[in-house]
Structure 1
């Protein structure tokens, strides 16, 4: 009898625990995080780390559900979803955020950053924080800035050894006015296009080339439809970790603090993943058959962009550009 009682008690306890766990799972707040990168890309790995940290530190109260690969749409569509409250989080490049918060376009100026450490110091520093503060007025909540590396040029027509080789190339760009201005100044024919459409456009010859960090070139398999890679390092690619204001304001003060801190840590993880990819990425693309131009006279590119630089200095203010360049 005593044994039967113990067994019945264990069974009831197990049932209660299962019911409690099921109820907890059902009551968890689910937030949807959509982004165009793949789950294996640096930002995808960083977003998974963010989701894991939020789940662990809230004991499962909050679940971040990832939707990589443009499953919820391109960067612009997802940002519009944040404004409407139909998507909760995203991590697009600032080139696309600039369509909503024009001031962040300053980060897209070519040859502005010395290296990734310099860029991250600016993004984490006063200039970056001032930029994040501007998001709220545009119906967005900025959490943190990070980056996915410097942009490189690929194409299917010819090796690009200098700016003269860019002339006439149809190059896919992000939906960003500075990128368009810069490529036109170099004599290219820039074509704005959402990332999920680029592979097919390259494959079908709608565009000759594209420019992206090494990790994005690999993860989107552009090496399969391109012949030449030039390590131009022409522009850094910052990303903004952005949240729907409605979703952020629904969090408690403690959870808001957790999200901000976890977002900053996720951006550091992204930086570390970019470094890993860039150590082996060029060789991987070379093995896929791409001809790689490693030594580029960037001074020639900058010389051709002098007029654009003067105009951009007037637009954003030389003082702002000096603050960025002088950041230690």
Structure 2
């Protein structure tokens, strides 16, 4: 059901020439990203790294760190310099027990980091389940909608993706549970969501699936998500995104607090890559870029693709 909240206010008026230039740059970025994702999906390149940039006071790992415009802009530049292909910005925490925020609050939170992230030249993604926020972000230069509601919280999200041509990440688990076999649960959920998106006019090459590790799942189910990746990749033939960075499951496995989970995050990302993930969503970009390059190179050797 579409939001009945008012549309967010647009950015201040820009001269027509600048707006035209932004639209052209956005289209170029979107097409270049499409080629990169397709290569990673085919296994012809290392998985792309999506760097996390939250403008929230309560996110589980970096809540309150990048709420100021200057720190957010510096962080966006750092993510780009470290090799992020995508910067994923968010204005509402989705950690367990977090509180929803009004649309206008979310819009205000992402405004500065959205502008700063677009200026880096990286592809920009907006992490939200609200169609109005997604539309606002794409209008301002984002090329990807990371729908943590999986098109199920507000089905109007598929219309925004179709209208704008943005990539659409469909994530499982924000409001759903995985009953029974996790692979079956994910397959059923994604089949419905993909059909919903395609029926609205979202191109198949713009769809990405995220199993939602850490969202309404037990540790056994979270581990099962890794086992499900090859099945999902084969069944739907669309790129897969995995977000495991610093998550609580890794803390329970290692006994480390959130700031001490980089080695565990790298290990999990490596497994996700070997299982077919095309995009890895992370807090620590530089070490993950290196890990994915090495994983890809060694995978090529062991599978006979070297050279």
TM-score by shorter chain over 0.5: no
Larger Rg: 1
Larger RCO, structures 1/2 (Cα 8 Å, 6+ apart) = 1
Normalising by structure 1, report the TM-score: 0.26
